[in-house]
Structures are given as structure tokens and as C-alpha cells.
Structure 1
């Protein structure tokens, strides 16, 4: 029988509340500690939930709440060099869902709170101390919380990751800055279609909305990374000028950029990925979600993988006799999957932010990308069809 009866979760974004729901289902009491004052503070932009992420949300009973405000995307198309190619999809799976990050956070918090899970706000972790019976977390407000285990779901700039391993790598910069806006401009295309567009100078994507507006996002190449604070300190007019320089010659990119309401330009700052993290756990501490595996946004799987891992760590804690064996089993199950998806997405990033040599090879790269995209079963069938069996007991995985 498992020895873990309580868990402290650091981070209340996506993975944190899902882990708490899964732990509660496993019979383990969970408390979530979130640094921000409320679920939407400092959060913005849209994210995708893939079919496998929807399946994992089903396990904890959060799918309907998480997708209540989402937009299904049953179709997609790739545009480059004047060509527009509709991409096939795995027709027997539900469509990807696009949801505003703040809406998703709020829905997951409300679902967790509705099941009696305690969520504490304004709790920014400083350190954690272990002994033979548990782990005590200390916060900037001077308070402490003690539990049997501590789960780090505190994002790509994770504090828990440095406690697990002071020498752990930090997030890597993709060479791109992120921007989004909802634009009062109708474009050609049926609502529910996402267009992945490789423009003359930079990549962007957009999808028509049912109300006639367009949701637009850009991955603007830039050599130097910028923190969110730095990026938002730049005057909006300067960003609009740079976006016009990058996309002004594209169709419909140029028209969309010219019609951005400055008040609606959302700056997300540098886009990051997590390189391979050598140590996912130590003692009574373990990492989930972006804190340990954050593929680039090219994967379309960041949130879904975080949701899966949050459920898997709870299953392992439910079935294995001690934290060390549970965390080892969790890592063995998750690492090959998340690192394989990250590798696939990394190849796409080379086309989104090409260097000098890659620019010369871009036509070849695009043909390869298109060829793989036209074979969805081979390219991402295993990713999207993945389902974990909650009722199957977790066991140790041989090295």
C-alpha cells in the first residue's frame, strides 16, 4: 500500500490543479500553493488542448469545465510561398480545442475548489526542507506548509527544479517573441480552421472566429531574449512598427497587422523550451508540466503533456509503496514520450526562425514539412491517440 497520504503542489496554472484533482481521486489529500493573487493574474494568450489532453482531463472530470469557453479547431491549413494546402487530420479523434489561458486556469481552479481542494494564493516558494517523515515548504510571507511529498508544477522558471537539482538547466530561448491579438477584421476561411503561415520574413498563424473577427498570433524572430517585463515595457507603437516590417508584405498578415487595435495587442515575451532535465525528482520532491518538460509551441502539445503528467504522477503515488519508487516509475513512463514530442517540434522551429543557412534551404524544408504533415497518422498519430488507463495499477519500469 502506498505510504503517501498528503501532497503539496507548488503552482496553480494547468498542471497544478489537475494534479490535485488526480491525487484526490487517488485518495491523497492535496493542497495547491500559487504565487499569484488569483488564477488570471499576469496570464494571457491562447493555448491548445489536443485530443490526448482532453482524454486526460476526462480522467479527473475536468474536460467540460476546461473546454466550456474553448473554440474547436477541426481543420488546419499550411500556407507558404503563395500555396495554401489543407492538412488532413485524424478524423476519428475530437478536434483540438483553443482556450484562453486565463479561462482555463480559472476553470481548473473552480473545479478543484468544488471538490474541496484547498488553493492558497500569494504563496511564492522560497525553499523546501525534507526529513524522514515529510517535506516543509517555506514561502516569502514567512508561512510554511508540510506534506508527505512536494510536487513542482511551477512552470518553466521553476523554483522547485533548482531544489531538485541546483545544476539543472534553465529554459532555452527559441529565438522568437510571441504576440497575439483579436482583430476586428474578417479573413477568408471557415471558422474552425487554423492557418499556419510562413510569411516572407516570419511565421504567423490565425484562425477566423464565428463572430467575424480573427484571432492572430506571431512568432517574431529576435536574437536577444526578453523577459515578459522587458517586452511589455516596449511601447506598443514600436511593436506594431516591427510587426508591420515583418508581416506587411504578407497576405493576409499585412492587413491583419494594420488593423490591430493597440489596446488589444498582447505581448507574451520570449518563447522558451525546456532542454532535457537530468533529474526529475529527488527525495520527496518531483517535477511535472512545464517545470520539467516544455516543448516549443510548435508541438501543440505543451498543455496536454502537462495534464497527462499531472495525472500520471498521481497514479504512481497511488500504487507504489514510497515516493522514490513512485517518482522513478513516473519518470520512466513520461520521459520518452515528452522528449520525443519535443524533438519533433524542434524541427519545425528551424523553419519558423531560420538562420542564414536555413533560409537558403527553406524551400526544401517546407517541402519536407508538408510531406510529413500530409501523413498525420505517422507524424502525430501516437501523440494524439495516447490514453492512460487510470484503473491499471502502476508498476515499476525496468531500466
Structure 2
């Protein structure tokens, strides 16, 4: 049996509240400490919650949170810049359908769910040090628990404290943008996301039958600081120009976007492998442990998986066996997703010559990949809350 009765979670974004919900269900007392004074309302663009993410949330009785704020997404349609349909990837009938959510809405919904279950989230607590299970904050205060869980993102302080030699985030060659806008007059995509390999950039969009629209752009750039200082009003014509001549509604949707609604993500990043996930009484989850670029469509879902799996390991095993079992169950799977996303990024960021080859080969490649079973490993990842974690545990991908 596990010996952990209390936990500190560092980071109140997406992974932090899910971890708190899972720990509470496992019978472990938990407090979340967030470095920012305020809330992350209005911060972040669109993201998807994949079937495996919904399965993880359902294990802690929180899948209804996604249903409340999400828009169903039954599949993805791949297109070329000419508008030609290259492939369509549907959802699995035996799995929960994917949901499109806006990050700030998901964040607030998970935050409110955690608070409603009696979980304390303390703001203005910027972590500066760790001594075993004692967290030291910039304001001079401390907190102690059996374990400290780093859910503090791709630039994790917890990761740096447990491994000063941890690799830095890697720029993947793409700048990210996204916005909500009116889709009136644009042919609706219904509950399917359309993904377009444009001649100069990558475009994704979904337009419901009710006229609501949303889009995102991955703009190739060798320099992650390209355009630094540009306002949203200055970025919009740049993005529209990137799709000039492409036979898709990218220019129209971008031009009807209010600058106030544009989310400028900046350089997209990942870390192919984080060597150290745990040390002493501290452990990493989510983007602190396995940051994948947005091209995976799996960031939030993998974070939810890891949060739930860690809680189960802490419920059933003593530290450090719980940490070792958690890493063994998670590492191979998340690094496989990161690697797959890196290959997608290479296609999106292709140079002029590579783009020509990509466009020539893309129809053949899409035909080979147009088999849902090839992708089931990503989406079909059951987590059985009633099952007991033992050691050694079989690795899963």
C-alpha cells in the first residue's frame, strides 16, 4: 500500500487541478500552489482534448467539465493548399469523441471543479527552493507534504531544482497564432477540424453550422523572435498574406478577426526527452515532464493521463517505488507522442524545396495513413481506477 497522505502540487494551470482531483479521490490531502497572483482567464488559444484525455478525466469524475466547455470534434480533414481533400481521420465509435476547447475556458472549468471539491489553490506562491518535501516560496513562506508534484509547465522550476542539468525547451521552427471569429458566409465544417498544408504556412479551422468560427496558424520561421513587438493588429495582415493564393478560407477568416481576439503564442517548443522525472520526494507531470508541441494535439490529454496515473501509483505504492512505477508506465508512451509531433512539425516548417516534395508525396502518404487503427495507440489508453498498481509494472505506449 501507499504511504503518502499529503501532497503539494506546484502549478495551477491544466495539469495541476487534474492532479489535485486525482489525489483527492485517492485519499491524499492536497494543496495547489500557483506562482501568479491572478487567474489565467483569457490566456491561451484552442486545443483538443483527445479520447484518451477524456478517459483520464472520467477516471476522476471530471469528464463533464470538458463536455461543458467543449465543442465536439468528430474528425479531422487534411487538405492541400489547392483545397484538395487528402485524407479524413474519424473518431472511434467505442471511444469518447474529441472535444475542441479554448484553453482559458478549460483552465477555469477545472479550477472551479477543484475548488468545488474542497481543494485549496493558493496564488502568489512562486517556488524558489526544495528541501525534501518542503517547498520554499519567494515570499519567504514554506509548505511541507509527503511529496511535491511539479505541474509547472515547460519551463518548470521543479524540473530545474531536481535536475539543474535538465535540457532547455527546443524551438521547433514554428510560430503559433489562433483566434475565434465569425464564420458567417464560410462553408461550415460542422464537427470536423480542417487542417491545411498551405504553400507558406499551416492553417487549421472549424466553422460550426451556427456561424461560430475558430482558427490557428503555424507560421514557419527560423527565428523564434521573428516579429517580436508586433501588435495583433500588425500580425493579422502578415498572417493573411501567408495564405494569399491558397484556395482555402484562411484569408477570409483571418481578415474578419478582431485584433483583440488574436492569441499570439510565439515560438512553439518541445523537449524530446526529460532525463530526470523524480528525485527524493519531488516528481514531475504534464509539460514539466513531457512537453510536446501543439502539433501533437495531445498536450492536455497526456497531462491528464500522467496526473491520474501518478495518483494511482501514490495510492498503491510507497515512495520511491510509486515514482519508479509511474515513470515506467508513462515514459515510453509520451516520448513516442513527442517524436510523432516532431515529424509533423518538420512537414509544417518545410522550406521551399522541401515543400514541393512534401506536396508531391503528401497524397500517397495520406493514403497510407488513412487507417484509424494506425492511430489507436494514441487515443485508446484506458486507466482503470479500480486496478491496483504493483511493481514491477509493464510499460504501456
**Which bin holds the TM-score, normalised by the shorter protein?**
over 0.9
Q: Given the alignment of the two structures, is residue 311 of structure 1 paired with residue 308 of structure 2, yes or no?
A: yes
Matches within 5 A, 1:250-269: 250=246, 251-269=248-266
Structure 2: runs of 5+ lacking an equivalent: none
Q: 2:165 pairs with 134, 145, 167, which one?
A: 167
Residue equivalent to 2:120: 118
Cα RMSD after superposing both structures: 1.9
Q: 1:238 to 1:197 in 2, by over 3 A?
A: same
Displacement after TM superposition at 1:373 (Å) = 3.6
3-state DSSP of counterpart to 1:270: strand
Residue equivalent to 1:217: 216
Displacement after TM superposition at 1:160 (Å) = 0.5
TM-superposition CA deviations, 1:114-137 (whole Å, max 9, x none): 11111101111111112xxxx111
Could you tell me how far apart the structure 1 residues matched to 2:194 and 2:348 are?
A: 14
Q: Given the alignment of the two structures, is residue 100 of structure 1 paired with residue 102 of structure 2, yes or no?
A: yes
Could you tell me how far apart the structure 2 residues matched to 1:38 and 1:61 are?
A: 27
Contact 1:248-1:255 at 8 Å conserved across structures: no
Residue equivalent to 1:359: 355
Residue equivalent to 1:193: 192
Contact 1:248-1:257 at 8 Å conserved across structures: no
Q: Given the alignment of the two structures, is residue 376 of structure 1 paired with residue 372 of structure 2, yes or no?
A: yes
Displacement after TM superposition at 1:18 (Å) = 0.9
Residue equivalent to 1:147: 145
TM-superposition CA deviations, 1:138-169 (whole Å, max 9, x none): 11222111111100000011000101110001
Q: 1:210 to 1:33 in 2, by over 3 A?
A: farther
Residue equivalent to 2:174: 176
Q: Given the alignment of the two structures, is residue 387 of structure 1 paired with residue 388 of structure 2, yes or no?
A: no
Could you tell me how far apart the structure 2 residues matched to 1:25 and 1:48 are?
A: 25
Could you tell me how far apart the structure 2 residues matched to 1:211 and 1:303 are?
A: 27
Could you tell me how far apart the structure 1 residues matched to 2:351 and 2:278 are?
A: 36
Residue equivalent to 2:129: 127
Residue equivalent to 1:245: 241
Displacement after TM superposition at 1:258 (Å) = 2.3
Contact 2:148-2:282 at 8 Å conserved across structures: yes
Displacement after TM superposition at 1:98 (Å) = 0.8
Contact 1:153-1:289 at 8 Å conserved across structures: yes
Residue equivalent to 2:231: 235
Instruction: Name whichever of 65-74 and 159-168 sits farther off.
Output: 65-74
- Provide the TM-score with structure 2 as the length reference: 0.93
Q: Given the alignment of the two structures, is residue 37 of structure 1 paired with residue 32 of structure 2, yes or no?
A: no
Could you tell me how far apart the structure 2 residues matched to 1:326 and 1:333 are?
A: 11
Instruction: Name whichever of 148-157 and 253-262 sits farther off.
Output: 253-262
TM-superposition CA deviations, 1:321-376 (whole Å, max 9, x none): 2x211101000000011111111121111111113553242124423541344111
Displacement after TM superposition at 1:211 (Å) = 2.8
Contact 1:350-1:358 at 8 Å conserved across structures: no
- Provide the TM-score with structure 1 as the length reference: 0.93
Q: Given the alignment of the two structures, is residue 13 of structure 1 paired with residue 13 of structure 2, yes or no?
A: yes
Displacement after TM superposition at 1:201 (Å) = 0.8
Contact 2:178-2:262 at 8 Å conserved across structures: yes
